Chains A and B, each alone.
Chain A
Amino acid sequence: METSEQVLSPEEQFQARIDADIRIEPKDWMPDAYRKTLIRQISQHAHSELVGMLPEGNWITRAPSLKRKSILLAKVQDEAGHGLYLYSAAETLGTTRDQMLADLHSGKAKYSSIFNYPTLSWADMGCVGWLVDGAAILNQVPLCRTSYGPYARAMVRVCKEESFHQRQGFEIMQTLCEGAPEQKAMAQEALNRWWWPTLMMFGPKDADSPNTEQSMKWRIKRFTNDELRQKFVDMMVPQAEFLGLTVPDEKVKWNEERQAYDFGEVNWDEFWAVVKGNGLCNHERLQARVSAHDEGAWVREAALAHAAKRAAKEAVAA
């Protein structure tokens, strides 16, 4: 009997490996579209970590206590690390750090729209950790089993660190909710602003997400956008109830038959407007990124010059 492998095209062999849950590693053959999809998704993910530092950076100097400030600093440092893990994973696919950053700075590459919303009060730090990182974890946990090895390994590290982020956010919310009426009102007000944008983090509805089917077939994605959004609502509504807060959606209601919460429709016009650059902070965020990069150019150059000088000195000494 001839082995069937001999008649399989490279694409078919590749798909067979995916179907057998064999991870793809950097030097393995892969379809161009798989490579491109991953570069787009991983770099977008990395950009989100990087830009995600900005709304929180706003509160480092304003944190209400030394403990909160230390925690927030540690969290922001983690986000920088997550960005690095992810950029490194993308680089194994043949793109460069410079190229990815150039695409971010020119606006060609996207990052998560959630960071185009402003962080107006301390309770926003609670919501960012509890809701935004909670949504991120739901997205990220399945990615620990994604088909591309370096991406999966990066996500394992990210997920390990991310659960501290969510818990510290919940703790901020809990502290506010157990505090003065003004503090609890601040928590509710923040939840009102963050709830819907967080639901948008899972991306467009499945019917409007043309890439989902192929990404599921390649096992880059393991769940659809709508599946994850439902999981998130089911997870969060009871947590909000525990805090004594109300989710700003009148349609949220337990559905006994589905064993899940029904909920209202996301404002997709707002979603697309923010994606297209018209959110409250799109301009400010990108500007902050570009400035930080440009103003740091001399450091990068000086470090290279210093390394070259020292290497030359060592060569002479040897």
Chain B
Amino acid sequence: MTQQEWPLWEVFIRSKQGLDHKHVGSLHAADAAMAVQNARDVYTRRLEGVSIWVVESKHIHASNPDDAEAFFDPAADKVYRHPTFYEVPDSIKHM
């Protein structure tokens, strides 16, 4: 017998209608149906969700932490993208 682990799945839960699915953790399951079932048992025992997504972990592609500076820092010096960069005269309303 070859020892083989069930694949790893990432679990995303929508906590209530109108909100995004949010990553809550992971679990092992033989297939997608079992992953949804297990996610329900593990992550929604206290009404934490109204909808579940599962994605097999191997399908997730992530940015590399070593590239974080090159990737994200350019956004740091572009303050003009934020509304607070602009001065609005006190007399101007509704802006």
Contact = CB atoms under 8 A, between A and B. Distances in A.
B7 to A, nearest CB: 9
B17 interface: no
B29 to A, nearest CB: 8
A276 interface: no
A258 interface: no
Interface in A150-165: 153-154, 157, 161
Contacts of A28: 65
Interface stretch (B20-28, B71-79, B84-92): B20-28
Interface in A274-308: 297, 300-301, 303-304, 306-307
A311 B28 contact: no
A303 B37 CA distance: 13
A239 interface: no
Contacts of A74: 45
Contacts of B3: 98
Interface in B33-86: 34, 41-42, 45-46, 62, 64-66
Given A25-B65, A27-B65, A81-B45, A303 B8 contact: no
B6 A304 contact: yes
Interface of A: 25, 27-29, 74, 77-78, 81, 84-85, 88, 91, 96-98, 153-154, 157, 161, 297, 300-301, 303-304, 306-307, 310-311
9 contacts: A81-B45, A84-B42, A91-B26, A96-B5, A98-B5, A157-B25, A297-B1, A303-B34, A310-B31
Interface of B: 1, 3-6, 8, 24-28, 30-31, 34, 41-42, 45-46, 62, 64-66
Given A97-B5, A157-B24, 8 more contacts: A25-B65, A28-B65, A81-B42, A85-B25, A91-B8, A303-B34, A304-B30, A307-B31
